[in-house]
């Protein structure tokens, strides 16, 4: 363990792509095996810096719990040069991995309380490890509700997981899309519209919210309106992470460094910053 503590955080480990699964037209899930054979350990909500050799490095959250023993699993959307290179990796390819970094979702702190998961678009990826860990110890939590919003029925991430969770009798799963054709029998509307009708006790609930910042801001507003204290609402922030250990300042968000103090932050700490332009 001492060796791990002394490890240079700027030196990536080399990992091999064990599998690459296309989730959506522009998103791929990579399962990564460290060449060292080490078994990755991390908390839900943490992220790695993935390095596409010769292209660059980008922060990507874990998308499967460490308890699943599947190595590092990351869902990557092709949104730029680096993420595009990562999304194009095929099984057997190698890449650099630094991490895990950052804070995690309050999975342990939520024990004994209702859990409300609010995901928008690819925001379900960083939340999936938290969902998996809550459901693995389901008896320790109150009511569990998963709300997922996305653009259209073609853009539903982890559809099989959502179907599996929905089949359980102890979880409420609601999926809504922004627009749909008449073949869609689910909900249509913005994800915040699902909050007022969700079964949770605002005084004894923890909300974990991830998605585009606009969506998170309005989701937090809807949760406050439902009676939840701001301190019980957690958001996963995204900024331009570089060093990932709070040295370079690229990801500064007001007084916080998203890489070190986040990415998961309680809403009461950042509420005033979310509406400020260009922070």
Residues that bind another protein (CB under 8 A): 26, 79, 120-122, 149-151, 155, 176, 178-182, 184-190, 192-193, 197, 211-212, 214-215, 218
What is the number of residues in the chain? 279
Judged on CB neighbours under 10 Å (0-12, 13-18, 19+), 144 is: buried
Shortest separation between residue 222's beta carbon and another protein, angstroms: 10
Q: Distance between CA atoms of 96 and 15, rounded to whole angstroms? A: 6
173 contact partners, CB below 8 Å, separation of at least 6: 145, 146, 148, 162, 165, 166
For another protein, the closer CB: 180 or 224: 180
For another protein, the closer CB: 26 or 161: 26
Shortest separation between residue 51's beta carbon and another protein, angstroms: 22
For another protein, the closer CB: 15 or 147: 147
What element of type H or E holds 47?
strand 47-52
Shortest separation between residue 77's beta carbon and another protein, angstroms: 8
**Helix, strand, or coil (residue 83):** helix
For another protein, the closer CB: 72 or 267: 267
For 155, what's the count of Cα atoms within 13 Å in the CB-facing half-sphere? 17
Shortest separation between residue 119's beta carbon and another protein, angstroms: 10
For another protein, the closer CB: 142 or 212: 212
**Helix, strand, or coil (residue 72):** strand
For another protein, the closer CB: 111 or 187: 187
For another protein, the closer CB: 122 or 235: 122
Shortest separation between residue 73's beta carbon and another protein, angstroms: 21
63 contact partners, CB below 8 Å, separation of at least 6: 29, 73, 74, 75, 125, 126, 128, 129
Shortest separation between residue 58's beta carbon and another protein, angstroms: 14
Q: Distance between CA atoms of 54 and 121, rounded to whole angstroms? A: 29
For 249, what's the count of Cα atoms within 13 Å in the CB-facing half-sphere? 2
Shortest separation between residue 99's beta carbon and another protein, angstroms: 24
User: What would the two tokens of residue 276 be?
Assistant: 């400020």
């Amino acid at each position: 363990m001492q060796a791990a503590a002394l490890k240079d955080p700027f030196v990536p480990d080399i990992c091999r792509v064990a599998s690459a699964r296309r989730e959506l037209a522009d998103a791929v899930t990579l399962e990564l095996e460290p060449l060292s054979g080490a078994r990755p350990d991390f908390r839900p909500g943490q992220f790695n810096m993935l390095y596409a050799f010769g292209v660059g490095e980008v922060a990507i959250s874990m998308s499967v719990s460490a308890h699943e023993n599947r190595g590092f699993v990351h869902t990557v959307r092709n949104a730029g040069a680096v993420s595009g290179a990562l999304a194009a990796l095929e099984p057997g390819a190698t890449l650099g991995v630094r991490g895990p970094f950052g804070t995690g979702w309050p999975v342990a702190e939520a024990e004994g309380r209702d859990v409300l998961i609010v995901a928008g678009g690819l925001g379900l990826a960083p939340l999936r490890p938290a969902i998996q860990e809550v459901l693995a110890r389901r008896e320790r939590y109150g009511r569990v509700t998963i709300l997922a919003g996305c653009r259209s029925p073609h853009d539903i991430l982890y559809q099989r997981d959502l179907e599996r969770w929905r089949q359980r009798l102890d979880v409420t799963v609601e999926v809504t899309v922004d627009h749909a054709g008449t073949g869609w029998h689910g909900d249509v509307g913005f994800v915040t519209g699902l909050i007022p009708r969700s079964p949770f006790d605002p005084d004894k609930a923890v909300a974990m919210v991830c998605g585009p910042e606009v969506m998170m801001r309005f989701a937090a507003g809807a949760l406050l309106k439902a009676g939840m204290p701001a301190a019980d609402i957690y958001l996963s922030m995204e900024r331009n992470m570089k060093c990932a250990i709070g040295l370079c300042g690229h990801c500064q968000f007001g007084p916080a460094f998203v890489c070190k103090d986040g990415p998961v932050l309680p809403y009461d700490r950042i509420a005033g910053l979310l509406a400020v332009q260009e922070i």
